[in-house]
Amino acid sequence: MTRAEGNAVVHVAHVVHRFAVGGMENGLVNLVNRLDPQRYRHTIIALTDVTEFRSRITARNVELVAMGKRPGQDPRAYLRLMRFLRRARPAIVHTRNVGTLDAVFVATLAGVRVRVHGEHGWDMHDLQGRSRRYRLLRRICAPFVQRFVAVSVDLAEWLHESTGIARSRITHIVNGVDCERFQPRSQNRSNLTSGLDIPAGAIVVGTVGRLEAVKGHEQLLRAWAFVERRLAAAGREARLLIVGDGSLRTTLEALARELGIAERVIFTGMRADIPQLLQAMDIFVLPSLNEGISNTLLEAMASGVPVVANRVGGNPELIDGGVTGFLVDVGLTAGNSDRMAEAIATLVLDDKLRSAMSAASRQRAVAEFSLETMVKRYDDLYCEVLAGGRRLNS
């Protein structure tokens, strides 16, 4: 066979827990939209359900299927998955994150020859990868997976050290960002923030993400209370833009009121205009308590926005500390916010530093994290595993 099994169109079945708004899902959309449709077709299988996020798919060679899995144990959902795989006969099943590992066994029983599993980040119930249950599950699944994919060096090393998977069976593929869709601001900011009540001349600090504990919004709000005191002393005005929704929204809004900052914190809820909102920001903050490789961080960099983020997970691979933004050593606690606040305040008050980091962020995103590079690496991976491990020439 030659590249991607000669002239045959390769069918890849991607298995996710739920197809909804999320960083991993966004990366999957970018991949299926960009892989050569003359060589690949795709089925995205959601173990639970498919949401309106499906509208992000623009390629015509993509089918979406929901298994309707109920919470907890649901053998019938896996039986439906096996029947589907036997009918569809994909060349590759590509599962993602620990919530889909059971599908590796189903794919094996269904006769799928090639199984790939991706690790895209940390489970919110296992932020440091210490769960014995999850490590055991990965060890049990390992013999049935031809190749593991880790989106960060941190995840790749953890996968090897904690589960004993050989490094030769782990491929590191960093997420890519669409540098055409995400670009620096080229219009008046008032056109980008209509309806958000942001005063002219205010510095906009923002974040994008699910309002869940792992994303660290409590830490950000506590840091913002400190930032506001610094800005008041300097006579500067700023707003904090929190884009996204989730189970903690009511709790976080109450915390903002308790801290006395609610009038200057804007909760936007879910938005479809993320590129425009990123362009409206002067500083992007990623307060996550752990990350694989953050798509929103890459999108902010491509938008020419300097970043403040915790030094966790894959963040150090993306941020050149002191050049494109600041990495903050706060550990995995939501209560220690002083250092994050100091980094944010430094950028808010130093216009020249902010401008220099803005240019450096865009340059790094384009040079090192383009979407084209990511797609090529997945193409190479699929070709390699189809060839039984032999590396193929482009």
Q: What is the pLDDT of residues 111-134, one digit of tens each?
A: 999 999 999 875 555 555 556 777
Rounded Cα–Cα distance for residues 364 and 367 (Å)? 5
* Pair (138, 260) in one structural domain: no
pLDDT at 107: 97
* Pair (284, 200) in one structural domain: yes
Residue 156 lies in a domain: yes
Residue 288 lies in a domain: yes
The domain in which residue 117 lies consists of: 10-176+370-386
Residue 199 lies in a domain: yes
Domain count, the chain: 2
pLDDT single digits (tens) 35-52: 999 999 999 999 999 999
pLDDT single digits (tens) 354-368: 999 999 999 999 999
pLDDT single digits (tens) 248-274: 999 999 999 999 999 999 999 999 899
pLDDT at 130: 59
Rounded Cα–Cα distance for residues 143 and 208 (Å)? 37
C-beta separation of 312 from 290 below 8 A = yes
Above 60 in pLDDT, residue 346? yes
Residue 77 lies in a domain: yes
* Pair (260, 231) in one structural domain: yes
Above 70 in pLDDT, residue 393? no
User: Average pLDDT of 232-251?
Assistant: 94
pLDDT single digits (tens) 15-27: 999 999 888 898 9
* Pair (155, 137) in one structural domain: yes
Above 50 in pLDDT, residue 176? yes
Above 60 in pLDDT, residue 2? no
Rounded Cα–Cα distance for residues 306 and 299 (Å)? 11
* Pair (344, 381) in one structural domain: no
Residue 322 lies in a domain: yes
pLDDT single digits (tens) 185-211: 988 887 888 789 898 889 999 999 999
User: What is the phi/psi pair of residue 40, to 5°?
Assistant: -135, 145
* Pair (253, 132) in one structural domain: no
pLDDT single digits (tens) 293-309: 888 999 999 999 999 99
What's the CATH number where 236 sits? 3.40.50.2000
* Pair (376, 340) in one structural domain: no
Rounded Cα–Cα distance for residues 3 and 386 (Å)? 9
Residue 182 lies in a domain: no
Residue 219 lies in a domain: yes
Share of the chain above pLDDT 70, in %: 92
* Pair (210, 291) in one structural domain: yes
Cβ burial, residue 88 (10 Å; 0-12/13-18/19+):
middle
Rounded Cα–Cα distance for residues 378 and 394 (Å)? 12
Choose among 288, 285, 305: nearest CA to 182. Answer: 305
* Pair (232, 359) in one structural domain: yes
